């Protein structure tokens, strides 16, 4: 069953998945496997699995939430595979990365100096996903220009060449995209 334009399966719209969710899922996966190629494969596998099980979609969760749930499983499967290829699952608990000694008790670490760092990382990931969610809501061309310029850091000249637009078009699109993002991102992020 090839995907055709505006095909709907059980309320899902697989033909829009890549444009709508690929970067969102990619950010989520990248944060967990830290390797671009693997993250990319996981995103692709997620779409395949989603297409295969589309008939089981009940519509209680949003399309994105449903795809994220599939991706989560894929990430777990990935780590299972990595671990089993090592012979057995390896769980190493290193509660003090700065110390080689294995026998210090947790009491020594009542105030965990890494807790704050970790919560900042989690907050930043949450921010990243919120930004991707807003980018996905932009008109296709705006989201593409914004992503190329802001995330991929491609030069104005190269973007104009690739998309066959002139610099003033580009800046108008960037400006519109930024204005839309300011409106879309939760006000909380703008409180300093």
Partner 1 sequence: MIPCEKAAIICSKAQYSEASFLDKLRLRLHIMYCKTCHAYTKKNKRLTSLCQKAPLHSLSEQDKVEIKRRLTDIH
Interface residue list for partner 1 (CB under 8 A) = 1-3, 14, 17-19, 22-23, 26-27, 30-31, 36, 39-40, 43-44, 47-48, 51, 124-125, 127-128, 131-132, 144, 147, 149-152, 156, 171-172, 174-175, 178-179, 181-182, 185, 189-190, 192
Shortest CB 61 distance to partner 1, Å: 21
Closer to partner 1 by Cβ: residue 80 or 141: 141
Taking the complex as a whole, the smallest distance from the CB of residue 80 to partner 1 amounts, in Å, to 24
Nearer to partner 1, 114 or 171 (CB): 171
Task: Specify the residue, 105 or 190, whose C-beta has the smaller distance to partner 1.
Answer: 190
Say if residues 74 and 43 touch (Cβ distance below 8 Å). Answer: no
Instruction: Name the nearest CA neighbour of 178 among 158, 150, 153, 156.
Output: 150
CA dihedral (136, 121, 32, 97) in degrees, to 10, reads 170
User: Least distance from C-beta 95 to partner 1, angstroms?
Assistant: 25
Q: Alpha-carbon distance 127 to 54, whole Å? A: 29
How far is the C-alpha of 84 from the C-alpha of 172, rounded, in Å? 52
Under 8 Å between Cβ of 156 and 162: no
Nearest CB to partner 1, comparing residues 45 and 96: 45
For residues 175 and 140, what is the distance between their CA atoms, to the nearest angstrom? 15
Nearer to partner 1, 6 or 152 (CB): 152
Residues 137 and 134: their CA atoms lie apart, in Å, by 5
Cβ 71 to partner 1 shortest distance, Å? 14
């Amino acid at each position: 069953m090839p995907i055709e334009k505006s095909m709907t399966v059980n309320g899902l719209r697989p033909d829009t998945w890549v444009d709508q969710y690929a970067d969102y899922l990619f950010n989520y996966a990248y944060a967990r496997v830290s390797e671009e190629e693997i993250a990319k494969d996981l995103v692709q596998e997620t779409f395949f699995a989603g297409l295969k099980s589309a008939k089981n979609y009940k519509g209680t969760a949003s399309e994105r939430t449903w795809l994220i749930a599939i991706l989560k499983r894929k990430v777990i499967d990935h780590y299972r595979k990595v671990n089993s290829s090592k012979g057995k699952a390896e769980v190493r608990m290193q509660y003090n990365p700065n110390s080689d000694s294995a026998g210090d008790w947790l009491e020594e670490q009542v105030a965990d100096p890494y807790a704050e760092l970790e919560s900042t990382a989690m907050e930043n990931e949450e921010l990243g996903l919120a930004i991707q969610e807003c980018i996905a809501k932009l008109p296709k061309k705006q989201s593409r220009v914004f992503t190329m310029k802001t995330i991929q850091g491609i030069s104005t000249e190269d973007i104009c060449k690739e998309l066959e637009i002139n610099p003033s078009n580009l800046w108008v699109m960037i400006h519109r995209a930024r204005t839309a993002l300011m409106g879309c991102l939760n006000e909380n992020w703008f409180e300093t």
